[in-house]
Amino acid sequence: MSPSSDTDPQKPQTRPYGDRPVVRLRPKGDARAIRHGFPWVYADELVTDRRTQGLEPGALAVLEDGERRPLGLVTVNTKSKIIARMLDRDPLAVIDQAWFATRIAKALALREKLHDTAHYRLVHAEADGLPGIVIDRFGDAVVVQPNAAWAEAHLEPLVAALVQVTGVSTVIKNGSGRSRVLEGLAEEMVVVQGGVSAPVPVPMNGAVYMADLMGGQKTGLFYDQRPNHAFAARMAKGARVLDVFSHVGGFGLAALAGGAVSALAVDASAAALGLAEEGARAAGFSGFSTRQGDAFDVMEMLAAEGAQFDLVICDPPAFAPAKPALEAGLRAYERVARGAAALVAPGGYLGLCSCSHAADLQAFRNASSRGIGRAGRRSQLIHTGFAGPDHPMLPHLAESAYLKALFFRLD
C-alpha cells in the first residue's frame, strides 16, 4: 500500500489554510503547554523536513500537534534554537498593520493606566503578544528592538501601526544585541522616521535621566528598575550612597531625589557617566559625583581607602544570560555581593540586582547571601523587587520575569 498524503511529509497535503505552510510538533513536543499559553517551540520539538528547512527565517506557518490538529499561527526560524514562536491562536490570522495596531493599542491601554507620563516600556515582547519585539517610549519618540526574524520581516506594518496608535513622530530601530545574533540577524541602528538630535530627558521618581536613543545601552534607558529605584529612594534619606554599574545614574539619581546627602556613581562608560552628570544638573541635585572604571577594581580601591556608605546598590549586566553561563554568572554575583558588602557602614543597606534570565530568584539570592557572608557581614533580607508592571510577565514563560532586586540590612 502506498503511503497516504497524511503520513508522507514529502507529498503535497490538503489543509484548510490556503497557501500557508504547515509545521508539525514531534511526539516529544508539548502541545498541552502551547495550548495553555507557552509561546515557544524549540528546535528539537519540531519536525524539520525539507519543506520546513526551506522556509525563510521569519516565515509564517500553521503549527499542528502530532495528530494534525491546529495549534495556531507561528513564525518559523530554522536558524534559531527557538524554531517557532506563537503569533495568533487563529491559524488564518492576517499579520498586517491592523493586526499590529490591535496588539499595540492593548499594550498602550495598560501603560496609560500605569503612568501619567509618556515614558515607559510600551511593548514587552511575548507578554504583550508580540514575540521578540521590545518597544520603549520616550515622549514623542519610540525605540523599537525587532529581536526576532519575523519582526524584521514585518517592520513596515509594525511601524505604521505604532505611529497610528501612539501618534509619535520619531521611530528608531535599534537592531543590536545578543538576541538578534541568535536569530541570525545583522546589527544596525536606523532612524525609521523623524529623528533626535540630543539625549532625551526622562523624568522618573523625582529625578531626570538623560536617554541617548541612538548610542546608549539597549534602548537608552532601563525602565524596568523604576519601582526598585523608588524603594531605594525611600531608604536613602540622609544617606551616603554608592551606585555601582550606574549606567546613566539609575539608583544614584533616584537616591538624591529621595533625600540622600551624596551619591557616587561608578561605571565603565565615560559616556554614560557624562549623561548621569547631565541628569543631576537638570534636576538641580548637588552631592553627585562619578568615578569611571571597572566596577570590581573601583570597589577594591574604595575599600582600600576606607570608604563606607549607608546605602550601596549594584545593578550589573547579565552575568548569566543563558544556562551555559549560569555557574560562572553566579560566581560573579557572589563576587559583587562580597565587594559591595565590605563598603556598607554598620546598620546600612545593600541592594543587589540581577537581569539574568538563567539565574532564578533562589539561585541569585543564594549567591548574594554567600557573598555577604564571605565579606564577614550578617544580613536581613528586607525587600525583594522585580520589574515594573510596564514589563508584564507571561506566566507560562519564566524568562519574562528576568529582573530581581534584593535589599539587605547589614549588621
pLDDT tens, residue by residue, 193-230: 999 989 999 999 999 999 999 987 889 999 999 999 99
314 in active site:
no
276 in a structural domain: yes
Grid cell 540622609 is found at 238
Query: CA-CA distance, 220 to 210, in Å (whole number)?
Result: 8
* Ranges 10-19, 87-96, 288-297, 301-310: which has the least confidence: 10-19
What pLDDT does residue 9 have?
45
pLDDT at 397 over 80: yes
Domain boundary among 56, 88, 120: 88
Assess if residue 281 is contained within a domain: yes
CATH number of the domain encompassing residue 60: 2.30.130.10
Identify the pLDDT of residue 399: 84
Helix (H) or strand (E) holding 144: strand 141-146
What distance in Å separates the CA atoms of residue 308 and residue 384, rounded to the nearest whole number?
A: 24
Read off the CATH number of the domain in which 355 is found: 3.40.50.150
Q: Does residue 393 sit in the same domain as residue 277?
A: yes
Mean pLDDT throughout 338-365? 97
Q: Residue 114 pLDDT more than 70? A: yes
In a domain, 7, yes or no: no
Among all chains, which residue has been given the C-alpha cell 502551547?
A: 34
- Is the per-residue pLDDT at 160 higher than 80? yes
Can you give the pLDDT at residue 12? 42
Q: Are residues 300 and 397 in the same domain?
A: yes
Domain annotation covers residue 14: no
Average pLDDT over residues 145-160: 96
Instruction: Tell whether 335 and 398 lie within a shared domain.
Output: yes
CB-CB contact of 238 with 215 (8 Å) = no
> What's the predicted TM-score (pTM) here?
0.92
* 309 shares its domain with 382: yes
Q: Which H or E run includes 106?
A: helix 97-114
Percentage above 70 pLDDT, the chain: 96
Mean pLDDT of 152-161: 97
In a domain, 5, yes or no: no
303 & 284 share domain: yes
pLDDT over 80 (residue 323) = yes
Quick one: 112 and 81 in the same domain? no
- Indicate whether 311 belongs to any domain: yes
Both 75 and 152 in one domain: the answer is no
* Co-location of 250 and 107 in the same domain: no
**What's residue 111's pLDDT?**
98
Is 8 part of a structural domain of the chain? no
241 and 306 housed in the same domain: yes
How many domains does the structure of the chain reveal? 3
Going from the C-alpha of 253 to that of each of 89, 202, 273, 277, the distances in angstroms are 44, 12, 12, 9
Is it the case that residue 7 has pLDDT exceeding 50?
no
- Give the pLDDT of residue 216: 74
Q: Which three cell numbers stand for residue 61?
A: 506557518
- Please give the pLDDT value at position 218: 82
Choosing from 132, 159, 193, the residue where a domain stops is: 193
User: By residue range, what is the domain housing residue 168?
Assistant: 97-193
Q: Are residues 248 and 265 in the same domain?
A: yes
Q: What is the CATH number of the domain that holds 180?
A: 3.30.750.80
- The answer to the question of residue 9 being in a domain is no
Question: What pLDDT is recorded for position 288?
Answer: 98
From 355, 358, 375, 405, active-site residue? 355
Q: Are residues 309 and 369 in the same domain?
A: yes
Domain endpoint, select from 31, 59, 88: 88
User: What is the dihedral sign for C-alpha 151, 155, 158, 162?
Assistant: positive
Examine the domain organization and report whether 181 and 48 are in the same domain.
Answer: no
Residue-level pLDDT at 18: 85
How many residues are recorded in the chain? 411
CA atoms within 13 A on the CB side of 250: 29
**DSSP bridge pairs for 22:** 62
Residue range 313-335: mean pLDDT, rounded: 95
pLDDT greater than 80 at residue 8:
no
16 — pLDDT class (breaks 50, 70, 90):
confident
Band (pLDDT 50/70/90 cuts) for residue 15 is low
C-alpha cell belonging to residue 228: 526598585
